[in-house]
Amino acid sequence: MSVKQEYQQMDSIRQQKVAEMLKRNFSMVLAEEGKYIYGYSVMVSVTHVLITPDLQLAKIYLSVFNTENKQEPLLEMEENMPRLKQSLYARIKKQMRVMPEIKFFLDDTIDEMYKVDALLKKMHDENQFGEES
């Protein structure tokens, strides 16, 4: 069972709806504000959002592409948190009265998938799986 599935079982329906709404809207905020914060060449996408039962803390998991230093865009986003929160709140204020605290986390699942895929390809190329029939 994946981490996402475990959290979905534990989360209430309200938490899931709020998390999905935050994910959708924060993705739009990044599309609009991201180029001013971390530049045009870096791409950041929201992969998952977890929210506490009291709806006070949102953990936003992000995938970062087109850069070797994947922590740098997250640090730049932390520095620009007031701007990001203001843009997000402008989008969600009709659905939520209180803006949750936001924490960013790097989601390196896709990077790990590529590493495993490369290892499997290398093993296949070196015929380490045995004879093919």
Residue 130 lies in a domain: no
Residue 19 falls inside a structural domain: yes
What pLDDT sits at residue 133?
47
Distance, CA of 65 to CA of 109 (rounded, Å): 12
Model confidence pLDDT, tens digit, residues 83-100: 999 999 999 999 998 999
* 58 part of a folded domain: yes
Task: Please say if the pLDDT value at position 78 is more than 90.
Answer: yes
Confidence of residue 119 (pLDDT cuts 50, 70, 90): confident
pLDDT confidence of residue 30: 95
Instruction: Specify if 11 maps to a domain.
Output: yes
Instruction: List all residues 6 or more positions away from 6 whose beta carbon is below 8 Å from its beta carbon.
Output: none
Q: Is the pLDDT of residue 3 over 90?
A: no
**Contact indicator for 33, 87 with CB cutoff of 8 Å:** yes
Within a domain: 116: no
Asked whether residue 75 is assigned to any structural domain, the reply reads yes
Q: How many structural domains comprise the chain?
A: 1
Task: Answer yes or no: is 120 within a domain.
Answer: no
The residue segments making up the domain with residue 33 are 3-107
Whether residue 79 is contained in a domain is answered as yes
- pLDDT tens per residue across span 39-71: 888 999 999 999 999 999 999 999 998 888 889
Tell me which of 18-22, 30-34, 129-133 is least confident: 129-133
Q: What pLDDT is recorded for position 70?
A: 87
**pLDDT above 70: residue 7:** no
- Cβ contact 61:49 at 8 Å: yes
| Mean pLDDT across 111-133 | 70
Question: Residue 25 belongs to a domain with what CATH number?
Answer: 3.30.300.20
Ranges of beta strands (E only) in 36-94 are 43-51, 57-65
